[in-house]
A and B are shown apart, each in its own frame.
Chain A
Amino acid sequence: MFTLQIAINGILLGGLYALMALGMSLIWGVMNIINIAHGAFIMLGAYVTFFLFRYLGLDPFLSIPLSMLVLFIFGFLLQRYLINWVVQATMFITLLLAFGIDILLTNGARIAFSANFYRVNPSYGGARLDLGSLTIPEVRLAAFLVALLIALLLFLLLKRTKLGRAIRATAQDLTAARLTGVKVAHIYALTFGIGVALAGAAGSLWSVLFGVHPAMGGPLTLKSFVVVIIGGLGSTTGPIVGGLILGLAEVFSSAWLGDTWKNVISFGLLVLILVIRPQGILGGTK
C-alpha cells in the first residue's frame, strides 16, 4: 500500500512536470531554441497567480487563463522584437540569449517582488480524498487534471487547426513553409507565445502546490530539460510520458534513498538517456 501511495504521488507530480515541459518541447521542436529562461517564465506565471490571489482574492485555478494570457503576450513580443534577431544563428547564441533573458527576469523579479517566499493558500488547500489507506490531496489531483486538459487542448490546437498546421509546417521546413505563404516570423512569435503561456499555466499550478519565490525558475528549467529529453522531441505525448517518468523517479528515489538524492537520480537519468537514446523514449529515428 505504501508503494502504491508513493506511485500516486509520483503520477500527480508527473502531470505538473509534463505541463512544464510541454512549452519547452514546443519551442525547442519548432524553432530549435533551447529556452533556458523557461523556468523564469514559470516563475512569472506563479507571480501572476499570487498577486491576483493576494490583492483581488481570485481563485488560483481561475487565474490560470489570465496568467496564460499575460505570458502569451509577453512571449509573443519577446520573440517578435528580440529573439527573432538571432533565431537563425548557431544554437549556442540562442541558448545564451535565453540565458540573458533568464538573468534579467530572475533578478528583476528579485528587485521588484523581493526575495521572500510566498504561498498561495486557498481555503480548500488542505482538503484530501481518503480511499481506504490511500490519501490524495485534492489540490494536487485538480492540478494534475488541469495539466492534462491543457495538454489535450495543445494537442487539438496543433492537429486540428490551421494555425497548428502552419506551426507544424514551419517546424518541418522553414523555407518550404515560407514558400507556401506562411508568415514564419509571425508563426515563430505565436509559437513562442504559446510555449511561454504553457509555462505560465504550470507556474500558476506550482504556486498553489509549492509557493512562489524569484529563484524558483532555475531548478524548474532543469526539470523541464530532463522531461523533454526523456520523452523525446516532436510529439505532445513525449513530455507527458517524460513527466510521469520523472515524477515517479523523484518520489521513489526520495522515499528509498533519502530526499537529497532525488536530484542525483534525475540528472543521472538525463545523462543516461542522452547517452543511450538521445532521441528520447518516444522519439523517432533522427
Chain B
Amino acid sequence: MRPLTFLLILIILVVSFSLIPFGVSSYWVRFLSDIFMMAILASSWNVIGGYTGYPSFGNVVFFGIGAYTTGVLMGKFSIPFFPSLLIAALFAVIFAVLIGLPVLRLKGHYFAIATLGVAEAMREVVANLNITEGNMGLTLPIYLNPNFFYYVMFGILVLTLLLTYWVTRQRLGYGMVAIREDEEAAAVAGVNTTQYKVIAFALSGIFTAMAGGVHAYYMTYIEPGPVFNVMITVEMIVMSIFGGVGTLLGPTVGAFIIEGLSELFSTYFLIIHALFFGAIVILAVIFTPRGLLDMLSGRRRFGLGYFLENIRQNRV
C-alpha cells in the first residue's frame, strides 16, 4: 500500500471512529471496543504468524501477561493505569525474548505446539502464584467509563497498524518475509534470522499485552482461565486468515466481520452462538484459506469457481 493511501485511510478511520461515541449508546461503544481489542490481537498475531510465517498457537500468553501485570500493579501496588500498561508491555517483550530464543528454533507443528504449551504452562503458573491470587481471581480498581476504554483500545489499534506498516517497509520487515518464504535462503542472504524472529515475536507481544492490560482494567476482575484461554489465540488466527494473512489491514477486517457477527449472534442466540463460531472457523479455512482480501482483490475471478479451486488445490 502506498504511504499516501494508507495515511488517507487511517485519517478517515480515526476521525470517524473518534466521533462515534458521541452518537451511539454505551452498548455500541462496548461492542466496538471489543472489536478493536480483537483487531489488535489479530494484527499482532499477523506480525509473527503472517509476515514471519511462524504460526504461534500461544499468543494469548502475552494477553494474559499484560492483563496480570496490569492487574497486579494496579490492584496490589496502586500504580496508575498508564504506567502499569507500559510496564506490562515491557514484561511482554522480556518474556518474548526469553521464550522466543529457544522456541523460535522450532518449525511448523513443533513451534505451534511449543507456543501452545508455553501459554498453558503460564496459565498454570499464574494459577499457582500468591501474588496473582491464583484461581481466586484478581480485583482491580473500578473505573466505569466506556468511552475511556473505547479511545484507549482504538488508540492502541492505530498504534499497532502504524507500527506494522512502518516495520514492513523497513529492512526488518523484508527480513521477516524472507524468513517466511525460505529461512535458509534468508540466512545465506545475510538476514540475522534469530534476531529478526525474536524481534517479530516481541512486536507481536507488545500490543497484545497492552490490550490485555486494558481488558483487565475494563473487566475489573480477572481469572487465569479466561485471560489465558486458548480460544483467544484461535480467534486471532481465524480473524487473520479470514481477512488475509500477511496483509496490513486483513486481520482488522477479519476482526470486524467475525467479532461483529459473533457478537450480534450471541445477543440473539445465546446457546448456539458457540456452534456458530465453530462453523465459521470451518467454513473460513475451507473456502477462504487465502483470506477475504485475496478474494476481493480481483487477482483471480471471484465466484463459485474461486472456492472450488481452493478446494481442488488442497485435497488429496
Contacts and interface: CB of A to CB of B under 8 A. Distances in A.
Contacts of A271: 103, 114, 117-118, 121
Given A96-B234, A104-B282, A85 B106 contact: no
B170 interface: no
A95 B314 contact: no
A93 B289 contact: yes
Contacts of A261: 124, 128
Given A184-B316, A185-B316, A225-B113, A96 B121 contact: no
Given A86-B315, A96-B241, A260-B128, A229 B113 contact: yes
A58 interface: no
Given A260-B128, A263-B120, A278-B106, A87 B282 contact: no
Contact of B314 (A85, A188, A267): A85
A96 to B, nearest CB: 5
Interface residues of B, number: 48
A97 B286 contact: yes
Given A89-B289, A93-B289, A275 B106 contact: yes
Query: Which residue of A174, A260, A275 has the most chain B CB atoms within 10 A of its CB atom?
Result: A275
A104 B289 contact: no
Interface stretch (B5-13, B26-34, B78-86, B270-278): B270-278
B7 to A, nearest CB: 32
Given A97-B285, A225-B116, A87 B314 contact: yes
Nearest to B277: A103
Contacts of B274: 103, 107, 110
Interface string B83-109: 000000000000000000011011011
The secondary structure that dominates the B interface is: helix
A85 B286 contact: yes
B207 interface: no
A177 B125 CA distance: 46
B109 A91 contact: yes
Nearest to A184: B316
A57 interface: no
Interface string B220-264: 000000000011001001100100000000000000000000000
Contacts of A34: 109, 112-113
B282 A101 contact: yes
A137 interface: no
A2 interface: no
Contacts of B314: 85-89, 93
Interface in B113-143: 113-114, 116-118, 120-121, 124-125, 127-128, 134
Given A93-B289, A103-B278, A85 B311 contact: yes
Contacts of B120: 222, 263, 267
Contacts of B238: 96
B36 interface: no
Interface in A237-286: 260-261, 263-264, 267-268, 270-271, 274-275, 278
A278 B110 contact: yes
Contacts of A65: none
B275 A107 contact: yes
A95 B58 CA distance: 13
A264 B278 contact: no
A59 B171 CA distance: 66
A174 B316 CA distance: 9
Nearest to A31: B316
Given A84-B316, A91-B108, A271-B103, A96 B278 contact: no
A90 B285 CA distance: 11
Contacts of B311: 85-86
Contacts of A122: none
Contact of B110 (A188, A267, A274): A274
A92 interface: yes
Contacts of A260: 124, 127-128, 134
Nearest to B275: A107
Interface string B270-308: 011011011111101110010000000000000000000
B55 interface: yes
Contacts of B284: 96
A82 B311 CA distance: 10
A102 B231 CA distance: 11
A111 interface: yes
9 contacts: A32-B109, A84-B315, A91-B108, A96-B238, A96-B285, A97-B282, A107-B278, A271-B103, A275-B114
Instruction: List the 6 closest A-B pairs by CB distance, nearest first.
Output: A100-B281, A103-B278, A267-B121, A104-B278, A100-B282, A107-B274
Interface of B: 49, 55, 57, 102-103, 105-106, 108-110, 112-114, 116-118, 120-121, 124-125, 127-128, 134, 230-231, 234, 237-238, 241, 271-272, 274-275, 277-282, 284-286, 289, 311, 313-316
Given A111-B275, A263-B121, 16 more contacts: A34-B113, A85-B314, A86-B285, A92-B57, A100-B278, A102-B278, A103-B231, A107-B272, A229-B110, A260-B124, A264-B125, A264-B128, A267-B117, A267-B118, A267-B120, A274-B103
